[in-house]
Structures are given as C-alpha cells and as structure tokens.
C-alpha cells in the first residue's frame, strides 16, 4: 500500500504514553497527545502533522473547516476533552470575525472572548496545556472586503480578535504563539496565503510549524532514546472475492460539521438516512480511524450505489488516508459528476443531484479512481465520505447501499492493448507558446514538458498554447490518450478543432475525462472516447491545444502524452476450454451485468446506449461465447476508463 497518513487515532493506544520523570523535571514530549483545535487552517494544513512529527507526539487533528468558536464549543467535549490531551493548540478567528454574507460577524468579540475562556479553563481542569495561536494575516480582498468592517480594512477587523487572544494569554498565563505577528514582521500575504486569500501556502504552514516548535523546544524536551510514535494502519486486504460497505450505518460514526443542522437515523433495514434542519446545505462526514478503512484491489472491483433522494445531494469519496474532515488535498472524487456522466438524464441543479430520484448504479473502480490514487500493487484504500444534505428541511437522503465488490483476480481477462495514431504533443519547445502566469516551460528529451506557475501570476489558470495542426481519423483511432503528472497543482486545457463540415469549436479536457469543468487533481493516464463525444467517425483537424496549471506559486504539472489511439481486442486464450470459459462466465455474469447498469426512478439505460455513453472505452466489452445450448452465452470483460 501507499504510505498511509492516519488522521484519527485509537485512543486506547495513547493513554499513559507521555513520558515524565517527575513533577520537578521537564516534561518529556515523546508520546504526548497533541490535539490541534480550530478551523480550516488547522484541519487542512500540514503544520499539525509537521509539529507532531518533529516532536514525536501523537497528533489528533480536531480542526473542521468553516468552524468558528461557537461551533467549536459545541463539539469541545467530543473532539478535544475526550482524547485526554497533554497539549491543545487553539486557533480560531478568521471565521468568527468574518462579516461576509450577513454584514455582521459570525461571532461577536464578546462571545469570542467567552468561548476562548471556556476552552482555556476546561483544559486547565484536566491539567492539559492550552496553547493560544493567533490567526494569520489575510488578503484585503477576502472575507467580503474592507468596506464591511468598521475599521475600514479586513485585517483591521481581524486585529480586534487577534488582540483578544493576546490579552487572554496574558490574563490566564497560558502560552501564546503569535502567528499573526510573525506574518506581519517577515512575510507578505502573497507569501503565506494561497489565492483565496485565507488559507496557507507551504511558507504559511512553515510559519505555524516554526512558531510552535520553538515554543515546545524552549519549555520541554525530547528523550533521544524514546521510541517513535506509531499510528494505526489500514487492515490487511481481504482475500477476493468479497463485498464490503465503505460507510457506517451508525450515526455515532458520522460527524455533524455544524451542530444541530442534520438529523441522522439508522433505519431498521440497516440503511442510513440524513435530513437537514435548516433548509440549506449542511454537511456530514464519515472519517473512520485507520483500522476501519477499507483496502481493495482496483482492477475488476466495482462500487454499488443505492441511494434514495427526497432532498438534493452532493457526495464525495476519499482515499488513502484523506478524509472529509482533515487532510483531503488531492485525495477524493466527486461522485455527483461521475453519476451525471453515467446517467445523462439524471436531474441536477448546479453540482447537486435533485431530490425525488432513486439512484441504483454500479461503477467500475478503474473508471472512477484516478491513476495517481492507485498504488503500485493496483490497490486503493477507501477512507471517508462527505455528504451534503441540500434543500428543504426534513427531506431525507437514504443510503441503502454504498459498497465495494472485489472479484477473484483469476477470473479477470487480460488487460487491453492499444495502437496509436496522431501524436498531438509538441515535437519541439518552439511549438509551445507561454501565456501570462506561467514561469516557464521545461521541454524534456522524451517529448514531455513541464508547466510551472509564476509568482507574478494575476490569473487563476495560467496556460500555454501548443501548436498542433494535425488530423485525427475517428474511424481508425476513436480514442484520445491523455497522460499528465501533477507535482503539485491541477491540470486542464482545451482542444480546438475543425470538423469535416468546416465548423470549428473546442472541448475542455476535463469534460472528456470526467464530464465536468473540475480540474484534474491527480496523476492521470486515461483513454477517452473522442468519437463518442463527436458522435461521429469523421476526420477532424486539431488546430491547437491550450493547457493550464492551477495552484499555488511554484506548482507544476508535466504532460507526457496527448495522442489518438484505438483499442486492440483481446482474444480468449486458445488453451481455455469451452467448459472453463462457460464456468468463468457464469461465475461473474451477475456481478458484471450489474456493474454495467445505472438507473434511477425515471431512467433505465439499455446496454447499447451504455456501451456508447456509459461504459465507453474502459468498460466491459462483449465477446461471443461458445454455443452450449440453444441460448447464447455472453462473456463480458473489463477495459479501463476514467
């Protein structure tokens, strides 16, 4: 398996492990429990794990994006005190002071002070050390802009809350790590914040890490002979074939991000239902501990979905230690967009699937999981689910089934092979024209090239233009092979073409890949059905391609292949007898037929349409079986697609 980053711990492993020789001696940090408590700059940042790794402490990241101190107070017992921590960092403020939307702060300065005092005093009762951390500076264009704040600037409004943190640290004699002052003294907002003006860059994370490590080093010490802390790991892979759920039907295993906004119920049949109380779009998270995650082989495995919607829904799946609460960078897929691509007549509003539909669908994992998430052995670990319950209060979303089936590898057919046609990659660096915001283009000897985002970029998706001027015969090579590696950042682009009738247009690459405008966030190596997109086998001319890199300063992507291709059918090996072939087909026919159908209450897709629009390139293709009786036996095998 890939290296797995655990974010939730088994507390039975943690009790009594913080080393301390005596009350008079310095406390030893090794084995201590560090809880990081805050909002998105805690939940989604690298500094908590960097600090814990540096100091050999157990980390429990109890940050939740979008939370303010009032949200935190409701969950303080569950997410902080219940872990019996030795140290707790407390970093709130950016959401508390924010006036965007209502024109009023989410939490008044008086309430903010009261909530922080509650955190401090409750921790002191259990002899845990509260460490107050000020919010970093933010961009003046964030949080609604300066006109919303009495001080006339965004940071002026934030300073009111930062100063409360400083005052409380002195009043209660608790440690203060003044990240805000550190940013003011040595960095610009562009250096410490990503383009949204609020969240942390690599440099911003380092400011947090350096400040906290300096505090701990000055007041405590490590034992050079202490063992390194160990985190729970994913369980061993079950032997295929097997079927297992990727979510829990116990409400206690789900996190209600905003208190009292979602009602969660375990139904009598084992299903799990969710309804919101607000009429808005609250979210719930399933983020299991490492030992409750699910490793599965990707090839041949499929995801079965049975979800009944009264409310509208948005749902995401997480992998390899990423989860919806902490550390989800580049570790998830948007199931809504995948379902829309599979079921074209699925009713949507924006990115949400509308209520009043019953989705029953099976999806091949090879089609939906990006290559970059699959380890060298062909496996992936399911590690979380995020669900938005959208729309009218009281309307339910009922998850009857969300499970993975792994098939016996011995029953899988050979992998498909391809022949290639027109190569659309530039054959020299002078075919690539840099556009604004790209630091430079590095052209490699193997024909690949790397795009990096410039520090001076003033646009979100800087791009290059690649001159092509080549024809693709869609009858001979109906597929388009796309391969791109992400060092950091996201990739997208447009292919500009002229059709046989003389009309011109463009298609976004991400729409070919997964049916939406969302950028590709992980290493991608896929074959997309270009002929199906054009609904034609004509000859098209590709005039040029634009390719973009989205992300932070210095992020880069490397394009390795853009070329026309066709699938070479794989024949059943002659040594497989008719009897063996029939037995294999019967063993897997039910699962494979199921994996080739998607439906909801108003939709039933027939196999002919599914082969063109749904399964596409990497779906299961039909092979003629030997005639055993008057009925024909059909054998399906799988060919990879995302």
Q: Are strands 438-443 and 348-349 parallel, antiparallel or unpaired?
A: unpaired
Residue with structure tokens 């993975």?
A: 404
Average pLDDT over residues 42-46: 90
CA dist., res. 619 & res. 435, Å (int): 37
pLDDT of residue 614: 35
Q: What residue ranges do the domains of the chain occupy? A: 18-219, 242-410, 417-568, 587-638
Residue with structure tokens 């790397």?
A: 450
Q: State pLDDT tens for residues 151-166.
A: 999 999 999 999 999 9
Lowest mean pLDDT among 455-469, 525-539, 550-564: 455-469
Banded model confidence at residue 261, pLDDT cuts 50, 70, 90: very high
Dihedral pair phi/psi, residue 555, rounded to 5°: -65, 150
Counting beta carbons within 10 angstroms of the beta carbon of residue 152, is it exposed (0 to 12), middle (13 to 18) or buried (19 or more)?
exposed
Residue with structure tokens 């697609």?
A: 641
pLDDT of residue 380: 95
Residue 354 near residue 348, CB atoms below 8 Å: yes
- Residues 6 or more apart in contact with residue 266 via CB below 8 angstroms: 249, 250, 251, 272
Dihedral pair phi/psi, residue 182, rounded to 5°: -65, -40
Instruction: Please state which CATH number belongs to domain 242-410.
Output: 2.60.120.430
Average pLDDT over residues 167-180: 97
Please determine, for residue 385, whether its predicted confidence score (pLDDT) is greater than 50: yes
Proportion of the chain above pLDDT 70, given as a percent: 83
Q: State pLDDT tens for residues 268-320.
A: 888 999 999 999 999 999 999 889 999 999 999 999 999 999 999 999 999 99
SS3 553: coil
Q: Within the chain, what is the greatest distance between any pair of CA atoms?
A: 89
Q: State pLDDT tens for residues 406-453.
A: 998 888 888 789 999 999 999 888 888 887 778 778 889 888 999 888
Residue with structure tokens 């990739």?
A: 491
CA dist., res. 436 & res. 593, Å (int): 49
Q: State pLDDT tens for residues 576-631.
A: 333 433 333 343 434 333 333 565 554 333 333 333 333 333 333 333 333 323 33
Please determine, for residue 361, whether its predicted confidence score (pLDDT) is greater than 60: yes
SS3 162: helix
Rounded to the nearest 5 percent, the helix, strand and coil shares of the chain are: 25, 35, 40
Residue 158 near residue 93, CB atoms below 8 Å: yes
CA dist., res. 198 & res. 204, Å (int): 10
Radius of gyration of the chain from Cα atoms?
27
Please determine, for residue 551, whether its predicted confidence score (pLDDT) is greater than 80: no
Residue 272 near residue 266, CB atoms below 8 Å: yes
Residue with the bigger pLDDT between 599 and 219: it is 219
Handedness of CA 52, 53, 59, 65 (dihedral sign): positive
Proportion of the chain above pLDDT 90, given as a percent: 60
Altogether, the residues listed in the chain come to a count of 642
Spell out where 9-57 has E strands. 33-38
CATH 2.60.120 fits 417-568, yes or no: yes
Cβ atoms < 10 Å from Cβ of 579: 10
Residue with structure tokens 């690949």?
A: 448
Residue with the bigger pLDDT between 226 and 622: it is 226
CA dist., res. 323 & res. 480, Å (int): 32
Chain mean pLDDT for the chain: 83
Which CATH superfamily includes the segment(s) 18-219? SGNH hydrolase (3.40.50.1110)
Instruction: Answer whether 18-219 and 242-410 agree in fold.
Output: no
Q: State pLDDT tens for residues 91-102.
A: 999 999 999 988
């Amino acid at each position: 398996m890939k290296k797995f980053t655990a974010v939730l711990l088994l507390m039975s492993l943690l009790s009594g492990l913080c080393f301390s020789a005596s009350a008079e001696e310095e406390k030893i940090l090794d084995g201590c429990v560090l809880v990081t408590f805050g909002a998105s700059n805690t939940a989604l940042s690298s500094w908590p794990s960097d600090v814990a790794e540096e100091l050999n402490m157990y980390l429990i990241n109890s940050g939740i994006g979008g939370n303010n101190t009032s949200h935190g107070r409701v969950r303080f017992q569950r997410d902080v005190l219940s872990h019996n921590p030795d140290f707790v960092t407390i970093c709130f403020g950016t959401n508390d002071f924010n006036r965007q939307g209502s024109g009023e702060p989410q939490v008044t300065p008086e309430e903010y002070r009261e909530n922080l005092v509650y955190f401090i005093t409750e921790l002191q009762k259990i002899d845990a050390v509260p460490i107050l951390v000020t919010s970093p500076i933010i961009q003046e264009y964030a949080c609604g802009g300066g006109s919303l704040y009495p001080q006339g600037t965004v940071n002026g409004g934030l300073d009111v809350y930062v100063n409360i943190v400083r005052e409380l640290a002195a009043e209660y004699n608790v440690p203060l790590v003044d990240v805000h002052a550190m940013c003011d003294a040595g960095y610009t907002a562009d250096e410490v914040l990503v383009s949204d003006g609020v969240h942390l860059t690599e440099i911003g994370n380092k400011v947090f890490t350096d400040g906290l490590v300096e505090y701990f080093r000055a007041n405590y010490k490590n034992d050079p002979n202490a063992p390194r802390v160990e985190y729970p790991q994913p369980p061993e892979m079950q032997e295929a074939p097997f079927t297992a759920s990727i979510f829990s039907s116990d409400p206690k295993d789900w996190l209600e991000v905003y208190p009292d906004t979602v009602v969660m119920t375990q139904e009598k049949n084992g299903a799990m239902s969710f309804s919101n109380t607000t009429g808005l779009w609250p979210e719930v998270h399933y983020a299991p501990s490492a030992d409750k995650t699910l490793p599965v082989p990707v090839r041949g495995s499929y995801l079965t979905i049975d979800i009944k919607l009264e409310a509208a829904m948005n749902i995401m799946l997480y992998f390899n230690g990423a989860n919806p609460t902490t550390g989800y960078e580049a570790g998830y897929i948007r199931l809504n967009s995948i379902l829309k691509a599979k079921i074209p007549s699925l009713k949507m509003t924006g990115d949400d699937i509308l209520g009043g539909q019953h989705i029953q669908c099976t999806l091949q994992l090879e089609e939906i999981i990006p290559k970059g998430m699959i380890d060298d052995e062909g496996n992936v670990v399911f590690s979380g689910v995020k669900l938005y319950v959208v729309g009218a209060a009281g309307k339910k979303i009922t998850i009857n089934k969300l499970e993975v089936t792994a098939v016996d590898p011995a029953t899988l057919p050979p992998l498909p092979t391809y022949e290639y046609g027109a190569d659309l990659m530039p054959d020299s660096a002078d075919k690539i024209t840099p556009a604004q915001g790209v630091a430079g283009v590095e052209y490699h000897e193997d024909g690949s090239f790397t795009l990096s985002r410039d520090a001076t970029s003033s646009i979100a998706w800087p791009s290059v233009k690649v001159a092509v001027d080549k024809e693709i015969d869609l009858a001979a090579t109906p597929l388009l092979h796309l391969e791109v590696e992400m060092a950091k950042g996201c990739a997208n682009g447009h292919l500009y073409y002229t059709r046989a009738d003389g009309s011109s247009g463009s298609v976004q690459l991400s729409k070919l890949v997964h049916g939406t405008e969302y950028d590709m966030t992980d290493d991608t190596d896929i074959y997309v059905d270009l002929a199906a997109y054009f609904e034609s086998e004509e000859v098209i001319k590709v005039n040029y391609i634009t390719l973009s890199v989205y992300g932070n300063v210095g992020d880069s992507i490397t394009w390795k292949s853009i070329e026309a291709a066709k699938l070479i059918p794989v024949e059943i090996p002659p040594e497989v007898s008719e009897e063996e072939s029939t037995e294999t087909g019967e063993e897997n026919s039910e699962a494979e037929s199921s994996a080739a159908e998607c439906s909801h209450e108003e939709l039933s897709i027939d196999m002919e349409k599914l082969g063109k629009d749904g399964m596409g390139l990497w779906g299961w293709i039909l092979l003629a079986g030997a005639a055993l009786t008057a009925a024909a036996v059909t054998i399906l095998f799988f060919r990879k697609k995302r």
